[in-house]
Amino acid sequence: MGNHRYAVEERDACAIIAFVDKRGRSSHATIVQTVDALRKMGHRSGDINGEGDGCGISTDIPREIWSRRLAAEDLSPYLAESKNFFVGHFFLPADIKSEADHILPRLRELFAAGGVELLMEVTGKTRDDELGPRARKEAPLFWQVAGLIGDRDRQQAARKLFDLQIELEREFPRLHIGSLSLDSVIFKLLGVPDLLPRVFPELMDADFRSVIALGHSRYSTNTLPTVERSQPFSVLGHNGEINTIERLRVTGRALGLEPVPGGSDSQDLNRIIDGLVNRFGLDIIEALEMVFPAIHSEVKHYAPEIQEVYSFYRWFFPSSAQGPAAVVGRHGNTCLGSVDALGLRPLWFGESDYAYFLSSEKGVVDLEHTMSDPRPLAPGEKIAISGGRGMPAEVLDYAGYQKRLVNLQATRTRTRKYLTSLYRQLPTGTRKEATTRDEPVIAMPPANLLAAFGWQ
């Protein structure tokens, strides 16, 4: 009985989930299914005094809702459909929300100085009384903004938003920017998944539709639960931990990617992937593969063109993110899943009659709706799902994923020259030749002998 009691009370780890509608249909059902999946995996989330450690959901920008809001302000509702329309979700933690009358005007000034036009704002549209006592006391002020960014090139516009986010955090280190994007928005809270639509009522609006949705429910291990550390972040939802976090941060700094002020390992991992995409123009599938590389000993069995890709990745961004970890991510119209090389955190890929999904557990979709038995990703394996409104989803298994990496590398000669210029070349090692018979040249020990003593 004692063993049974402990098994019932056991908590596993964070819950992660991602849905992509197979036919590119934007629907409210995607939101409902994501929250329901987190609810089913409630045993994976932690709690203190009955309150959850935190959860969140990432969705497409709800353009119908913003069109309605713009129309109510006598602005053209069609602005919400512009390719340069963005939405930002900001959280002012409890210890600074009393300073909102000072902070918000300054944030508006920084937006204007960055050439970004704010169209409208929504402040405090939450039902904090639904939260538990601890979470209610620590509830942040929720500030939503929508606007237009002048760059016609979406990649440049996304980079400008990323740079603006860094600048805002530099001036207000306690400010938490949940999302600032041309494509997605993020809602998060300190509590259990059931609370998401109750605290954020727009999630219950039938006009809130999405093709892609990510969800996360947190089990806090080495950091205290806060809204700022609840996930998903701008790109990733993460299960596990990064046990090489200082190496990751040092490598990021070498590229000019500063960690999030006071951020967790997951936040800094997210920041580096976000920076690789927005600062260096990498495709999201390249950035994830660079940070979570394939199993090194397996690479030598790949085709030469794939080995060349991994050789460059390992040089440019040395292996810095070792878990155990499993992640789901989203950038633009691409959804991704990955298990790191250790393979100690589960991630399942499955297909239902309406969507593809990635999940910590295979049973989040009812059996009668699954097309086949979900399969677990192997250590180091990745999968990408491309989708979007009106676009049938395309799945890239790991073989297709690697083929895409080779194609991207082949078309990136100019980028590669730019990337290589970031690092100063190390001096070439020289070897002193023996000048007399009394100075023998010491041969390199054989590889198997080095391996026996733990050297590579």
Domain boundaries, the chain: 10-422
pLDDT at 295: 83
What's the N-to-C CA distance of the chain in angstroms?
A: 49
CB 409 within 8 A of CB 309: yes
Query: Poorest-confidence range of 41-45, 209-213, 278-282?
Result: 41-45
Q: What is the mean pLDDT of residues 292-317?
A: 87
pLDDT at 293: 83
pLDDT at 396: 96
- H/E stretch holding 33: helix 29-40
Q: Is the pLDDT of residue 10 over 50?
A: no
Q: Which residue has the higher pLDDT, 330 or 441?
A: 330
Q: Which residue has the higher pLDDT, 415 or 214?
A: 214
pLDDT at 435: 44
Q: Token match 């999946």: residue?
A: 37
Q: Is the pLDDT of residue 456 over 80?
A: no
pLDDT at 67: 97
Cβ neighbours, 10 Å, residue 205: 16
pLDDT at 418: 53
Q: Token match 């979007």: residue?
A: 388
Q: What is the mean pLDDT of residues 75-98?
A: 96
Closest by Cα among 167, 149, 160, 168 to 103: 168
pLDDT at 431: 44
Query: Poorest-confidence range of 18-27, 99-108, 216-225, 274-283?
Result: 216-225
- Just give the CATH number of 10-422: 3.60.20.10
* Token code pair at residue 95: 């210890």
The predicted-structure confidence for 32-59, as pLDDT tens digits, reads as follows 999 999 999 988 877 667 788 889 999 9
The predicted-structure confidence for 404-442, as pLDDT tens digits, reads as follows 999 998 876 545 555 555 554 444 444 444 444 455 556
Question: Please, which residues have CB within 8 angstroms of residue 90's CB and are 6 or more apart in sequence?
Answer: 107, 142, 143, 144, 145, 175, 176, 177, 178
328: left (phi over 0), alpha (psi -120 to 50) or beta: beta
Q: Quote the mean pLDDT of the chain.
A: 87
